[in-house]
A = this chain, B = another copy of it.
Amino acid sequence: MPISQRAREIQPFHVMELLRRARELEAAGRDIIHMEVGEPDFPTPQPIAEAGMRFIATGHVQYTSTAGLPALREAIARFYHDRLGTRVEADRIIITPGASGALMLALAVSTNPGDEWLMADPSYPCNRHLVRTFEGRARMLPVNAEARFQPTPEQVDAAWNTHTRGLMVATPSNPTGTLLDAQELAALRACVTRRGGILIVDEIYQGLTYGVEASTVLSQMDDAFVVNSFSKYFGMTGWRLGWLVAPREYVREVEKLAQHFFISASTPAQHAALAAFAPATLEILEARRHEFAGRRAALLPALSKLGFVIATEPQGAFYIYADISKLSDDSEALARRLIEEAGVATTPGLDFGEHLPRRHLRLAYTTSTPRLLEAAERIADTLR
């Protein structure tokens, strides 16, 4: 039967195979420490869960308008103002089924077949696969720990050609946890707008920064697409809720596509998220951020001691992208060994691009500090 070229070319998440193995081992009674998961281990904050339940109890779980509940769009606009000190008009905010929906919209509204998008290698795998979905091409810019795994204006300039549609960046980045500061973003944007291109900024891990305050590219420009999510900082992964801030000229077009792509985002999730910005919720979220900071502070030196090289300390998200070349010449083989022998699940670089994937392993600190330290001990025993 005919399978589209698109489907043939798009790769699965390779980590799924490791996950399957982890589950097999668990089913057989082994204790597995999960450091492969891109999902906070905390439950949905109580005020959010309660708001969701209160809404469902009304029974009236109908579609919302495509762009989302006006009250939620306004709450997000207020959050930008109150917490991030920037003014974003609520009518530029489109509520989506997770950041995935936001990414799809931003790419679908702007990408013609053959268009190229520049992005860091390594970066979040869906980005290049969604570009391919809409018949565009991802052009990967190899980035190293020395440049904090972020693309430079020089790289963007050098890679730009007549097919280039724009640049996608992430701050904090998955898998590397590194940030772009305001100057770097301004320089990248200057580079993109000089060419008449588009900038897409993934701020999915926005609230999760350590030793530096959360920020948004929207403070300095209103002509970028900004992708965000209730999944990570707000602890709402399974609810599937995110948002897109679109440049004004695109808003109507984005809404039109959203009508056909998903009608509207989950209504219970939207009502639950209305409680996401309440002071009681933010207090819980900030406590969690401090917990993540503590885990990070414990894990970084433990990994270094084991021979993992972390040349640039990640300042955000909950990932460490470690150079494993002192330990192995193949991160996939190492990941397999760690799961089989140490009972520790990690993600090899393979999923994130083609630039030195065998030399890197992503470790997520989405489990408690004692478990992380236990993982480090078990890894030490295995590598000994």
In the complex the two chains form, is A266's CB within 8 Å of B263's CB? Answer: no
Tell me whether A101 is interfacial, beta carbon within 8 Å.
Answer: yes
How many copies of this chain does the complex contain? Answer: 2
Contacts of A126 in B (CB 8 A): 259-260
Tell me whether A3 is interfacial, beta carbon within 8 Å.
Answer: yes
Tell which of A174-182, A212-220, A246-254, A329-337 binds the partner.
Answer: A246-254
Tell me whether A304 is interfacial, beta carbon within 8 Å.
Answer: no
Closest Cβ of chain B to A227, distance in Å, is 14
Contacts of A165 in B (CB 8 A): 2
Tell me whether A1 is interfacial, beta carbon within 8 Å.
Answer: yes
Tell which of A54-62, A86-94, A294-302, A310-318 binds the partner.
Answer: A54-62
B interface footprint on A254-273 (CB within 8 Å = 1, 0 otherwise): 01110111111111110010
Given that A53-B53, A97-B97, A133-B108 are contacting pairs, would A260 and B59 also be in contact in the complex, using a CB cutoff of 8 Å?
A: no
Closest Cβ of chain B to A96, distance in Å, is 10
Contacts of A101 in B (CB 8 A): 262
**What are 24 of the A-B contact pairs (CB < 8 Å)?**
A2-B165, A3-B249, A3-B253, A4-B110, A6-B111, A7-B109, A43-B60, A53-B53, A56-B272, A61-B238, A63-B237, A64-B238, A97-B97, A104-B261, A113-B135, A134-B135, A238-B264, A238-B267, A238-B268, A239-B267, A240-B267, A266-B266, A266-B269, A268-B269
